[in-house]
Amino acid sequence: MLPQRIYLVGMPASGKSTLGKKLAEELSYQFIDLDYRLEEKENKSIPEIFQEFGEDHFRILEKKVLLESLDDKSVIATGGGAPCFFDNMEFILKNGVAIFLNTPVHVLAERALMAAGSRPLLKDFEGEKLIEELNAKFNSRIKFYTQSHFTFAPHESDISSLISLLKEFKQEE
């Protein structure tokens, strides 16, 4: 039996939204992008929130949106830093299955450059400095990401193998 909620965690640009939409469609689940929900709720973009109020305020808003993500039969793409603040990862693990999308840093860098401006914590970096910053962020966040129930390499595996893993998952009561 499939879990009611599937949380995708990983670095910015790891493919959480892209894979999440495909997975939700395959499973006939709804797709929830927490960053998008936060933007809708605040009527501001994430870069605007960072610029006006700073990261600390953003993380508080992000937690509120996460706590409201208890819709049944949903695939939830978290923000890259969401599992790393407060007790967010504990909440994710308790309320669904967590999947860490483990995408290589060089792929993250390519994707981050294509989305320049939409990732406030990476906006000031390019080239080797971007790779260094992504490596540093990855190293500081990996201890949270690896608490996930599964690690999935979207660049190496297909969605059907992920669905097979999910069908075998047993949520602890």
Residue 57, pLDDT score:
97
Which residues make beta-bridge pairs with 100? 9, 151
Domains of the chain: 5-160 (3.40.50.300)
pLDDT in tens, 62-109: 999 999 999 999 999 999 999 999 999 999 999 999 999 999 988 888
Is 58 a residue whose pLDDT tops 80? yes
Q: What percent of the chain is modeled with pLDDT above 90? A: 71
Tokens of 165: 């893993």
Q: Report the alpha-carbon distance of residue 9 to residue 90 in Å, rounded.
A: 13
Q: What is the mean pLDDT of the chain?
A: 90
Residue 106, pLDDT score:
87
Query: Which of 8-17, 64-73, 127-136 is predicted with the least confidence, judged by mean pLDDT?
Result: 127-136
Predicted model pTM = 0.91
